[in-house]
Chain A
């Protein structure tokens, strides 16, 4: 639908703005498609999202069903037509577990990514925009958070409050927002000094308007880069927590699958059980790394950098 046929009457300037947005969007999309690694990353992500959303339809069995044939538990079966990825030491279907496991990783990544972005951006923008004592207090808190060893503390929190998906996400978000806040704050500091912000202030724009209309859109690439990295980091962290046996007990995640391969001693033989979860975590995390890179390349094309 072109802007001329919009049912709502738009002013001349609004129509111009809309046209500009549309042009930028199509430029970004074209730049995205030109990057082979970006398309590949989006494909991998799309695959796992598909797997997660349609898990009940794709998985042939209940992930917790134990297969027993004529009183014989079907333990550690090699891959076959009936069990494409074989069975576990508890005679469960690896393929079904793997399909359902994608849900946990995606949900963990998404929720903790969004929460960290919301908290980190708010703290960063407020500290960077208002400066002074607000900045001082907030940044001291961030500094102290940096001094706290995240991984052991997250383990401790999960251990004390109980091993559920919610607690794992809460514990991770509690520690991960610090990087986001620091990065957003320093960018906001420099944006707030730019002529267009000063011009807006001179025309009497309110703080809220300056932040939402002039500063946030310019922070967007940075926020997207940081968010993708936080998502990737959360996914690996959850896998690590689950591997230590502190994973959510009510659902099967790739991390808990790997924990069982290790604790049951199945890594001696059952490669079909060890490979799928590990490869999937790696691919998913890698996809987010490459997505963050494409944002960086589109927003500042000449650097060729690769941030972690």
Chain B
């Protein structure tokens, strides 16, 4: 890796850290100063006097705002996320299982979407302007235009309530008992619950890679080396998937990281539809329940994931296309 790339990456990393700081600061002020914020009842009414005093000192709620801010940053940096009001447990122990649930659904869906979407896009480009391309593109676009919560509702309506094939939500049946923590994720019961949300989310995320791939393939197929391969008598299949697709795929990688970040941000919607106990749902419920240590932490974690994914996207595109660092 040459000097220029390294400098570019360091610059992006610095910017990511700066963004993270901005988000943290924005959260601090959002949860303390905005009207109707959860801290108007920062200390849950049902708590004992000593617990209240302890919390107040932990968050420095009696201190001036500047001291509160420093304390907040210190807690954040040392990973001390506080105790949830609702569950009376350390926030970090609540968050980890939800994070795994979100990753199991969202990351799997995005990865699947990018693998399938790339093939779909390459195929549509190879049939450019044929009716397969026109209707295929229309279908891909429709899946993107349809609100994902609505397709989720339809899926539940048809496959859970009409046909009774699959469960309508949640991550396990009520009667299910996992023999171990990871055993819960490897069970048939979990997979049954995963199928419907996974298909709906994958179809939704399929459109971006499919259309990006289609655009890139159309550009690539016009290039000289493709004409040359054609002149050399290579088969269409070999030209399409071995030569053109390889070149067209690289920019798609960039979008994969961005999409994953976006998917984390949007996870609250899909997790609500399928009652999927993930990070997005937890963030939303915690905010509604005015459980502010939990809401703030889940929010920050989601933001950190998104910022990290954006950085990863930048890093990938420099690695893949050295021209990126030169243009910035």
Out of B23, B37, B157, B269, which one reaches A147, CB within 8 Å?
Answer: B23
Chain A, range 139-171, C-beta contacts under 8 Å to B: 140, 143-144, 146-153, 155-156, 159-162
Out of A148, A160, A289, which one reaches B303, CB within 8 Å?
Answer: A148
Whether A244 pairs with B272 at a CB distance below 8 angstroms is: yes
Question: Which of chain B's residues has its CB closest to A154's CB?
Answer: B265
Say yes or no: is A29 at the interface (Cβ < 8 Å to chain B). Answer: no
A151 to B299: give the CA distance in the assembly, Å.
Answer: 11
Whether A160 pairs with B36 at a CB distance below 8 angstroms is: yes
Chain B, range 256-298, C-beta contacts under 8 Å to A: 261, 264-266, 268-269, 272-273, 280, 283-284, 287-288
Out of B22, B35, B141, which one reaches A161, CB within 8 Å?
Answer: B35
Chain A, range 246-275, C-beta contacts under 8 Å to B: 255, 258, 261-262, 267-269, 271, 274
Majority SS at the chain B contact face: helix
Say yes or no: is B144 at the interface (Cβ < 8 Å to chain A). Answer: yes
What chain B residues lie within 8 Å of A147 (beta carbons)?
Answer: 15-16, 19-20, 22-23, 303, 306-307, 310
Whether B268 pairs with A282 at a CB distance below 8 angstroms is: no
| Residues of B in contact with A (beta carbons under 8 Å apart) | 15-16, 18-20, 22-23, 26, 30, 34-37, 128-129, 137-138, 141-142, 144-147, 149-151, 153-154, 156-157, 161, 207-208, 211, 214-215, 218, 261, 264-266, 268-269, 272-273, 280, 283-284, 287-288, 299, 302-303, 306-307, 310
Whether A282 pairs with B147 at a CB distance below 8 angstroms is: yes
What chain A residues lie within 8 Å of B145 (beta carbons)?
Answer: 232, 236, 281-283, 285-286, 289
Known interface pairs A151-B266, A286-B145; 7 further A-B residue pairs with C-beta atoms within 8 A, sorted by A's residue number: A143-B19, A146-B310, A152-B280, A239-B147, A278-B146, A281-B150, A289-B144
Whether B161 pairs with A267 at a CB distance below 8 angstroms is: yes
Say yes or no: is A82 at the interface (Cβ < 8 Å to chain B). Answer: no
Whether B283 pairs with A152 at a CB distance below 8 angstroms is: yes
Whether B299 pairs with A152 at a CB distance below 8 angstroms is: yes
Whether A308 pairs with B207 at a CB distance below 8 angstroms is: yes
Known: A152-B265, A240-B269. A144 touches B146 (CB 8 A): no
Question: Which of chain B's residues has its CB closest to A148's CB?
Answer: B23
What chain B residues lie within 8 Å of A151 (beta carbons)?
Answer: 265-266, 268-269
Whether A274 pairs with B299 at a CB distance below 8 angstroms is: no
Q: List 23 A-B contacts (CB under 8 A).
A: A140-B15, A146-B310, A147-B20, A147-B23, A147-B303, A149-B261, A149-B265, A149-B302, A150-B265, A152-B268, A161-B35, A232-B145, A240-B147, A244-B268, A269-B161, A274-B153, A281-B150, A286-B142, A286-B145, A290-B141, A304-B218, A306-B211, A308-B211
What chain A residues lie within 8 Å of B284 (beta carbons)?
Answer: 155, 244
Known: A152-B299, A161-B35, A306-B211. A144 touches B30 (CB 8 A): no
